Amino acid sequence: MTKQTMMVSTVLTLAAVSAWAIDSTTDFRTLAYGLGIYQSHNAANKPVYATQALAGHDLVAAALGQPLGTVLSNQVLALQVDCASTVASLVVYDKVLSNNVATIATSASFDVVQQQDRDLMPSPNRERFVAQFVVNPTQNLLGGYLTVAGRLHLDPTNGCPSALRIAFDPLDRYCADSDNQALDDRKDHDIKRAGLGHAMGVLSLVFNDGKTNTVLLPYMGLSIRRDLP
């Protein structure tokens, strides 16, 4: 009975560890830059375009109830992806707490096409993805949606998204994806990349004057960088 109990306990423990490994997620430091377009009016009350620059730190600030343009030293934007590449979230990551403190958007769908460059690899080493995200209403970010497309490097030993030294994909230029400088931390000279991507969609934002605007986001570049602890 003792041996059987130990065997059952061992099996359950291994199953739990295995399930955790499959379901585990990784947060990747992510830079974002784009230009939002919203409705305004001229002096004659005729409709005109108005624009608002939007970077990763603006999404973080809005989610935490801070004015747009605020660059927070400890809270940064991150892309969270599970090992199986089935779900993802855009989150606010706190570097001091080493934890997520807010969820900006969560994927409603996450579709991938994978590639295995060498036959001897145990699993694919890269993938292209398109995901639809629903914005989570919080503080000055009141809702919206994003469609995110890009690529991720995969660890060929386990198939999980991973960061490695900067390497570009021939398809990047066809997808209008390019790397960008760390606008919210110019001292960040990170040489690791988990991938590149871009987003488009609609955001409902509270601007610094207190007004709520529906902002069209035709393009937002994403630089998916190192994994966060």
Residue 17 lies in a domain: no
pTM of the model: 0.85
Residue 9 lies in a domain: no
Model pLDDT for residues 158-198, shown as the tens digit of each residue: 999 999 887 778 888 888 888 866 555 556 667 889 999 99
Q: Looking at residues 7-14, what average pLDDT do you find?
A: 39
Residue 100 lies in a domain: yes
Domain with 84 in it: 25-227
Residue 5 lies in a domain: no
How many other β-carbons are positioned within 10 Å of the β-carbon of residue 87?
16
- Name 100's Cβ contacts closer than 8 Å, sequence gap at least 6: 27, 78, 80, 91, 92, 93, 94
Model pLDDT for residues 81-127, shown as the tens digit of each residue: 999 999 999 999 999 999 999 999 999 999 999 999 888 788 999 99
The total domain count for the chain is 1
Residue 12 lies in a domain: no
